[in-house]
Amino acid sequence: MKKLFQHEIVDFFVKNSIENFVGVPDSTLKQFISYALKKKKVIITAREEEAIGIATGMALSGSNSLVFMQNAGFANSLSTITSLVQLYKIPLIFLIGWRGYLKEDAPEHNKIGKIQPDLLKIIQLQTKIISDKNWKEGCQWAINKIESNKSCALVIRREFYD
Amino acid sequence: MIRKEAMKIVLEEIGNDPIISANGFISRDLFELNEKKTNFYMIGSMGLASSIGLGVAIKNPKKTIYVFDGDGNILMNLGSLTTIGTIKPKNFIHIIFDNHSHESTGGQPTNTRNISISNIGKVTNFYVFEINDINYLKKILKKIKKISGTIMIVIKINNSKIRSGRVTLDPVFIKNRFMESL
């Protein structure tokens, strides 16, 4: 996704009541995270589950949060999503960078990248993939979810090699 | 001193301040000792009480937030201590009931037998107290009311055969009334 759009996503969420961006950095999302960091809205955590915990505490206090992570970290978070976010019905937006989307991505991402869409389906976390073209609709959909007290995920594909 | 005994003394001092309590026997003891809407009982997601407490503390700077944690629990999320110690909330009191074991799963040993959780607290910017007896616990609970800072109280406890019942409340009910209480 282009740098400009990643910046616009931050602005869109800030304008639409998302007060906190908590997570573990990911290169697919780096423009998003760097821009949010400049706006002093970010907490970087050691692990993804920790980020979900902090965002949950903020949600309990009525403050809307987005949790960002790479899909490897999403796999780390499965137990936390099912036994905290879904069990207690905590409204959170997950923003996930999708490594392993391209077949020739680094080897450690291939298997988890391949099953990423199935993992989201199996745990019944409603998801939209966002791109340069449809990010605004996807982000608005996520805002609507959080306003109706539901959690959801937005996924950005890693469409480049480095 | 056993956990339930120590927790009872802590509860007498803290009144209706919000508590995030870790899963397992910690939430069960709290549920039996002092069931109230300002308790956020965790049922699953072991390790995350300190992180949830941090989120609540950041957003409620006028309230004092207590985290009831165990040694096995905090060892699963030691990274959270570096996040808390970086943000340094002045209204965060982390109480760790340390029995050097995973009592809820059968008393298997944890590594706090060999590595001091208090020392980890010190290097992560907490104001740390380590407690070995009831009188000192009472004294420290009074003392911390005059201290503004990120506080960790490690209470050394013994295992016990006393078992509290499970938390029988619906998780969504626990959440909703906790939110209303803030």
A28 found inside a domain: yes
pLDDT digit string, tens, across residues B81-124: 999 999 999 999 999 999 999 998 999 999 999 999 999 999 99
Chain A contacts of B69, Cβ < 8 Å? none
Decide: A118 and A93 in contact? Cβ < 8 Å: no
Does residue A57 sit at the B interface (CB-CB below 8 Å)?
yes
Q: Least CB-CB distance to B52: which of A53, A82, A89? A: A53
Return the CATH number at A119: 3.40.50.970
What per-residue string of b and e applies to A118-133 under the rule 16 or more CB within 10 Å gives b? eebeeeebebbebeee
Closest chain B residue to A81, measured at CA: B45
Number of domains in chain A: 1
Decide: A56 and A85 in contact? Cβ < 8 Å: yes
- Give the pLDDT score at B166: 96
Contact B59 A88 (CB under 8 A): no
A162 found inside a domain: no
Chain B contacts of A59, Cβ < 8 Å? 55
And the tokens for B171? 């998780």
pTM of the model: 0.97
Contact B56 A83 (CB under 8 A): no
Closest chain A residue to B61, measured at CA: A61
Return the CATH number at B171: 3.40.50.970
Top residue of A22, A41, A54 to mutate, by most chain B CBs within 10 Å, is A54
Chain A contacts of B58, Cβ < 8 Å? 54, 57-58
ipTM for the predicted complex:
0.97
Number of domains in chain B: 1
- Give the pLDDT score at B179: 98
Q: Residue B171: which residues within 8 A CB-CB, separation 6 or more?
A: A87, A88, A89, B43
- Give the pLDDT score at A105: 87
Decide: B110 and B75 in contact? Cβ < 8 Å: yes
Closest chain A residue to B19, measured at CA: A57
Average pLDDT of chain A to the nearest whole number: 95
And the tokens for B6? 């120590």
| Chain center to CA of B14 | 12
B170 burial (CB, 10 Å; 0-12 / 13-18 / 19+) is: exposed
Domain boundaries, position B109: 3-181
A54 found inside a domain: yes
Domain boundaries, position A130: 3-157
Chain B contacts of A60, Cβ < 8 Å? 40, 52, 55-56, 175, 178-179, 182
Instruction: Please provide the distance, in angstroms rounded to a whole number, between the alpha carbons at the two ends of chain A.
Output: 14
And the tokens for A62? 């009525």
Decide: A54 and A92 in contact? Cβ < 8 Å: no
Does residue B1 carry a pLDDT above 90? yes
Give the minimum alpha-carbon distance from B25 to chain A in angstroms, rounded to a whole number. Answer: 17
Q: Which residues of chain A have pLDDT under 70?
A: none
- Give the pLDDT score at A159: 87
Decide: B91 and B57 in contact? Cβ < 8 Å: yes
A95 found inside a domain: yes
- Give the pLDDT score at A162: 78
Specify the 3-state DSSP secondary structure of B2. Answer: strand
CA atoms of B136 and B139, how far apart (whole Å): 5
pLDDT digit string, tens, across residues B19-69: 999 999 999 999 999 999 999 999 999 999 999 999 999 999 999 999 999
| Residue B133, CA distances (Å) to A44, B79, B126, B140, B158 in order | 38, 29, 21, 11, 11
A50 found inside a domain: yes
